[in-house]
Structure 1
Amino acid sequence: MGSTRYITSMGELTRKDNSLCFRKNGKNVYIPVENTKEIYCLNEVSINTKLLDFLAANNIIVHFFNYFEGYSGSFYPRNQYNSGKLLVKQVECFSSRRLDIAKAIVKGIGNNISEVLYHYYKHDKKEVKDTIDWIKNEFYERVEKGNDIREVMAAEGEVWQRFYGDFKYILPEDFIMNKRVKRPPDNPINALISFGNTLLYTKTISSIYRTHLDQRISFLHEPSEGRFSLSLDISEVFKPVIVYKTIFELVNNKKLKVEKHFDKKVNYCLLNEEGRNIFITAFEERLESVFNHPKLKRKVSYRTAIKLDCYKLIKFIMEDKEFVPFNAKENI
């Protein structure tokens, strides 16, 4: 899967000469270091400091997930992209321009939710037009008039709730969501959303790591201990077109089935290993799919688009160039 390696089984990851070796059930699977940029550990994986030293020397990031398919944390090499000047400017921007960036992000979420819904409207799901019209006629104005972060986030919360409310027109009955439940997810659609959002969040962590931005200083979400809040900001506008389009296509094409690809317990529901692998494959294919970029005049993947949004934010911070996050309508 390109530069990403996924480990979905229990086992041990070690250094073997100048490559990586994953040992499971008494068998070795070798992972070439060349072109590997990140590794996802989605099960119990044993590692040692010798391996970590090797990963650091090769600038490979490792993301760890817990039993409930939630994000536990990341190992990444000592940051080679530190920039004191950008850090100072980023902090200054948080103090003076936070609301401007937050509004741009939330408008971007609305743009991309509207674009995803319009795709289904064109395919005879006429019921979603109410949300498309609300975004066009009320949402943008409400965001623009927001006087503080709380008001802007309230508008964001409502656009997501309206979007979730339209799932009943897009998905089959056994994937309908009564409400969004995260930790742990309680039904198949919540399991897919949580897993997809977490994959996108960690992809964004990797993208930000390879720029000079500081992961801890965010603008829409409150900077907080224990998570990379800037990754939440950057990933938010990509959720409709990367995570949700992946979910809708897998479910509607019957590639994921409730009775076959989920483990349902008393109070939670998770993808099983086969389901995870199906989702990961589709998610990576979505990330690598390309569109014509209007400004660059060339084809660009969604993975690259995430990094381009990081650079746009840097341009805003350093040069005061308008920050306009990824817009599916303009870029497809």
Structure 2
Amino acid sequence: MAGGTKYLMSMGELKRKDNSIVFKNDKGNSYLPVESIQELYCMNEISINTKFLDFAAKAGIVIHFFNYYGYYSGTFYPKENLVSGRVTIKQVGAFLNNRNYIAKAFVSGIGENIYQLLYHYYRHDKKEVEPALEWIREKLPEYMEDGNMEIKQILRVEGEIWQRFYECFKYILPEDFVLNKRVKRPPDNPINALISFGNSILYSKTVAQIYNTHLNQTISYLHEPSEGRFSLSLDLSEVFKPAIVYRTIFDLVNTKQIQVSKHFDKKYNYCLLNDEGRKIFVQAIEQRFESVFDHKKLKRKVSYKTAIRLDGYKLIKYLVEGEEFKPFSLKDMM
């Protein structure tokens, strides 16, 4: 798969053999070229030993693990070689003194990208989304200009943006993919299954991109910093959801590449993509990550995956040099 990313969809075992990676499953051995792999996605039960992990670390390979249900479990990455005490101190200082400013920037970015996505459908005769567009265009800036907003209020505004977005799904998607309520663990219907799976992949991709910056993954601003997760990746990934996850979902569903009758398993109170559905979704979202656009400010072609890392650099610029922090916007595309 493009961009140095390899997805392993079946059960098996990863081993080192000389200077190669071998994936062994019931179909035999597959040899993976080390020099062309930057990320490995383990989407099933895969056995790994410490000898292989040491080899992967020296090769600079990041490994993401997902469980049987498609939930992100965690990431193994090499020892951080871009550690910066200066940036970490600045991150902590910004959390203590300017958290609301950064959190608002993320929320404004979410609203802007949802607006651009909905406007695309508005221009294609989905006029029913106009109330959501109007709210984002007129009401959201009023909230963001309030200098006295606390973080809880900022989060409530973020929640309202997403809710208004979800309410538009019935105008964009066929009836069997309508979102009645966002349910995460476990997802209870096909659209929730797609959203959860897509968000997990985006989150893990963001973890890998932040790894290549000087940022500390655990110090976040919109989400609460907490033990056991890289909360800064949650922050940075939010603004990319409309451009990457939801565009992928809308395209796959509306072109009938993903169908309820063919690509989901329903059990008890949860619903998951089956193996075929996962393969289709993974291929589509990976193509989205690797697709390029002409960046208005940089005046060069940039992939969506690179844009995630660029947002990390923008945050560093704000922390260290005081430059305005403005996350990725679909309006940056020429």
- The TM-score normalised by the length of structure 1 is 0.99
- Residue 70 of structure 2 corresponds to 69
Q: Which amino acid aligns with 2:320?
A: M
Shift of 1:152: 0.5
What SS does the aligned partner of 1:251 have? helix
Q: CA deviation at 1:331?
A: 2.0
Aligned to 1:48: 49
**Range that drifts further, 139-148 or 48-57:** 139-148
Query: Which residue of 1 is the match for residue 8 of structure 2?
Result: 7
Q: Deviations over 1:61-84 (max 9, x none)?
A: 111111221111111111111011
Q: In the aligned structure 1, how far is the partner of 2:73 from the partner of 2:232?
A: 17
Task: Work out the CA distance in 2 between the residues paired with 1:104 and 1:119.
Answer: 23
Q: Does 2:244 correspond to 1:247?
A: no
Identify the residue that residue 290 of structure 2 maps to in structure 1.
Answer: 288
1:147 alignment partner, SS class: coil
1:153 to 152, 155, 166: 155
The answer to whether structure 1 residue 207 and structure 2 residue 209 are counterparts is yes
Answer yes or no: is the 8 Å Cα contact 1:64–1:73 preserved in 2: yes
In the alignment, does 2:174 pair up with 1:172?
yes
Structure 2 match to 1:139: 140
Which residue, 315, 318, 333 being the options, matches 1:316? 318
Please give the alpha-carbon distance, in whole angstroms, between the structure 2 residues aligned to 1:26 and 1:290: 35
Contact 1:143 1:155 in 2 (8 A): no
Structure 1 SS opposite 2:36: coil
| Residue in structure 2 matched with residue 233 of structure 1 by the alignment | 235
TM-score (ref. length: structure 2):
0.98
> In the TM superposition, what are the counterparts of 1:260-271 in structure 2 within 5 Å?
260-271=262-273
Q: Is this contact kept in 2: 1:121–1:128, CA < 8 A? A: yes
CA RMSD of aligned residues (A): 0.8
The superposition leaves residues 225-276 of structure 1 with CA deviations (integer Å, 9 ceiling, x where unpaired) of 1110000000000000100000000000000010101111111111111100
Quote the residue 2:309 is aligned against. 307
Aligned to 2:126: 125
How far the C-alpha of 1:16 sits from its partner, in A, is 1.4
The answer to whether the 8 A contact 1:261-1:271 is kept is yes
- Give the CA deviation at 1:330: 2.8
Maintained 8 Å contact 1:103/1:144 = no
Change over 3 Å in CA distance of 1:121–1:26 after alignment to 2: closer
How far did 1:144 drift?
2.6
Aligned partners of 2:297 and 2:332 also within 8 Å: no
Equivalent position amino acid for 1:99 in 2: N
2:15–2:52 contact (8 Å) kept in structure 1: yes
CA distance in 1, matches of 2:239, 2:27: 43
Distance in 1 (CA, whole Å) between partners of 2:145 and 2:107 is 10
* Partner Cα distance (2:116, 2:84) in 1: 36
The residue identity in structure 2 corresponding to 1:61 is V
Comparing 178-187 and 22-31, the one that deviates more: 22-31
Aligned residues: 332
Q: 4+ runs of 1 displaced by more than 4 Å? A: none
Partner secondary structure for residue 34 of structure 1: helix
Q: What 5-or-longer segments of structure 1 have no aligned partner?
A: none
Q: Counterparts of 1:10-49 in structure 2 under 5 Å? A: 10-49=11-50
Percent of aligned pairs with the same amino acid = 62
Q: Within 1, Cα distance between the matches of 2:238 and 2:141?
A: 16
Provide the C-alpha distance between the structure 1 equivalents of 2:272 and 2:116, rounded to a whole number of angstroms: 29
Rounded Cα–Cα distance in structure 2 between residues aligned with 1:203 and 1:141: 33
Per the TM alignment, residue 26 of structure 1 is displaced from its structure 2 partner at its CA by 4.8
Q: Distance in 1 between matches of 2:16 and 2:59?
A: 12
Between the aligned partners of 2:305 and 2:77, the Cα distance in structure 1 is 19
Q: Mean alpha-carbon deviation: is it higher for 212-221 or for 30-39?
A: 30-39
Q: Give the whole-Å Cα distance in 1 for the aligned partners of 2:330 and 2:79.
A: 34
Q: Pick from 274, 278, 281: which aligns with 2:280?
A: 278
Which residue of the partner structure matches residue 163 of structure 1? 165
The SS at the match of 1:299 is strand
* Alignment-mate amino acid for residue 188 of structure 2: D
* 3-state SS of paired residue (2:35): coil
Displacement of 1:329 after TM fit?
1.8
Residue deviations 1:40-93, cap 9 Å, x none? Answer: 111000010110010011010111111221111111111111011111111111
5+ long unaligned stretches in structure 2: none
